[in-house]
Chains A and B, each alone.
Chain A
């Protein structure tokens, strides 16, 4: 569209009537060309604005839908399930922590008791070693005495050798028992140290894990709460966007309204041109010229007002279209930002709350594994204690058996000594000493056995308890690990969904914002129309001034322009006409404001501009 700037008439041109009328014809003709151009060529631009607006609206709806999808990812059943699972894990962890403390305390008490009992068997075991020395000495004495007796003592040598052999066995067994005892005692000491150290670690780490799980739970609940609120926020934004688009749609009608108003101005000016052409050159200086000047002044003043109103109305409407479209972009941008916050994401490049929860859950899993290992170690230690005690018991039984063997040997020795007569009296004394030792051995083994039975009782109690309880903590840990693994899997899917949707959302918003900015920056139809009509308005103002110089305005305005008033179709046109008519009659002119969307809501159901018959 080319812009034809109409140049206002210079005041010097108001010299003669004929020249003035001729000059008016020329400038009005030129103005009519401009106005016809304005009326006929803006349709395409409004169509383009309408088409862009529809695209933006559709994309805005898509963005809102995407924002809702994004929120759906971290809300609803899936989130409720996660919250429920974390709550269960919290309970399980607390229960596990309490059981773990109790188990740990029992284990330590038992191990300390075992430690004491093991200490108690040291003395009897050392007694076996002393007994061994005595038996060996008795054996040597028996050999000496039997060689002194010669033929009579020959049977005692074999007995002495048997005693010596058995005393070696007692020595070996008791040494083995002492070594086993020592090994077990060391193991218990180190296990106790490990249990105490583990207790501290478990306590602190489980507390940390509990706190982390509680934090995760709180975050999930907060996300859930935010998501619940998001629905109303998104609906509100959607309603606002629909209102913006409604404003745009309504403002678009202004093009049609303005076109009609300008067409009416054109019609009025065309009629004026006919009147100007109809008056002879000679008649222009006379009374007819004065009347014509009044008509020209009235028509131009009125059309200047109508055109100014139409131009302002269109300008305001296009500004409203631009503002509303930009508002749509801003709202979508703000909603996208809010969506990030609702779903717990700092920004499209940052991490989500899901990452923080995953991290917390990983640490919980690590601590649970650590606890499970401590439990397994404790069970292992108890099994070691039981095994070692069983071995010691077996050795003690061997010693007991050896003791009974020695007892038999001693009895045989006594019988043989009695057969030998007075010369075998010394051997009888030796046999009696051996007998006493064998009795002592039996007594010592009984002592050791009693202590070992006590250890058995303690460890049996513990191992029985551990066996029954052992399955529970293990199952609990396993169940918690399984739950955590499933939660991690769900969180992984959630995170992946979040990021893929977020990428599309952010790209959608960025591209919409940028395209709206580009489109609104490219809308200049109102500026061009303003510029074009400004030229015509200046011409009309100039004509009015000149016409009033030739002949002042009369108060017959309304009557003179009655034909024009009857042709109006719009309320605003009638208001403007009436306003100027009042001014001509010395009354205050009513100011008609340009407001294309001044649709007054009234008591009627749909507004004052709607009638249903």
Chain B
């Protein structure tokens, strides 16, 4: 059965690109337009992994990670940030919130797939 991965990003073109890459590699994709939308969906649906942007309206990526880790349904899923932010302080913040990994944009599709395969085992 295909693994389900959520992609949360306020940029429709980034969501489209991530979804395309994931589907090409056999994953099912759930899209969320911002952190709040993602958290609402994650409270209702079990997924295998979350890929989230950092800077989003309504709820940013760090708050989203904290919300997921505080929840129950997807509490232990791997969460990887996809962001333009590259500062170590921000990475530390993400790690402290419970992020599994951090990918700085722009990235190549094979990098994303490599990371997903690694964290999903």
Contact = CB atoms under 8 A, between A and B. Distances in A.
Given A570-B86, A613-B100, A253 B106 contact: yes
B16 A613 contact: no
A120 interface: no
B43 to A, nearest CB: 24
Interface stretch (B31-39, B44-52, B66-74, B112-120): B112-120
Q: Considering residues B20, B85, B99, which has the most beta carbons from chain A within 10 angstroms of its beta carbon?
A: B20
Interface in A152-196: none
A254 B101 contact: no
Interface residue range, chain A: 35 or more
A607 B115 CA distance: 11
Contact of A50 (B16, B85, B106, B111): B16
B107 interface: yes
A609 interface: yes
Contacts of A251: 106
Interface stretch (A99-107, A256-264, A413-421, A513-521): A256-264
Nearest to A571: B86
A252 interface: yes
A43 B17 CA distance: 12
Interface string A32-58: 000000000001001100110110010
Contact of B20 (A54, A257, A613): A54
Given A249-B21, A250-B107, A606-B115, A47 B12 contact: yes
Contacts of B17: 50, 249, 252-253
Contact of B12 (A43, A57, A569, A613): A43
Given A50-B20, A260-B84, A613-B99, A605 B105 contact: no
A256 B107 contact: no
A55 to B, nearest CB: 11
A250 B55 contact: no
Given A250-B106, A599-B108, A255 B20 contact: no
B49 to A, nearest CB: 13
Given A249-B21, A260-B84, A255 B13 contact: yes
B91 interface: yes
A1 interface: no
A256 B105 contact: yes
A610 B107 CA distance: 9
A596 interface: yes
Q: Considering residues B12, B101, B106, which has the most beta carbons from chain A within 10 angstroms of its beta carbon?
A: B106
B86 A605 contact: no
A460 to B, nearest CB: 80
Given A259-B11, A569-B86, 14 more contacts: A46-B13, A47-B13, A245-B109, A249-B21, A252-B14, A252-B17, A253-B107, A569-B54, A569-B90, A571-B86, A599-B108, A607-B108, A610-B104, A613-B95
Interface of A: 43, 46-47, 50-51, 53-54, 57, 245-246, 249-257, 259-260, 569-571, 596-597, 599, 605-607, 609-613
22 contacts: A50-B17, A53-B20, A249-B108, A250-B108, A252-B14, A252-B16, A253-B107, A255-B13, A256-B105, A257-B105, A260-B84, A569-B90, A599-B106, A599-B107, A607-B108, A609-B103, A609-B111, A610-B115, A611-B101, A611-B102, A612-B118, A613-B102
Nearest first, the 8 closest Cβ-Cβ pairs linking A and B are: A609-B104, A46-B13, A253-B106, A612-B101, A256-B11, A611-B102, A50-B16, A569-B85
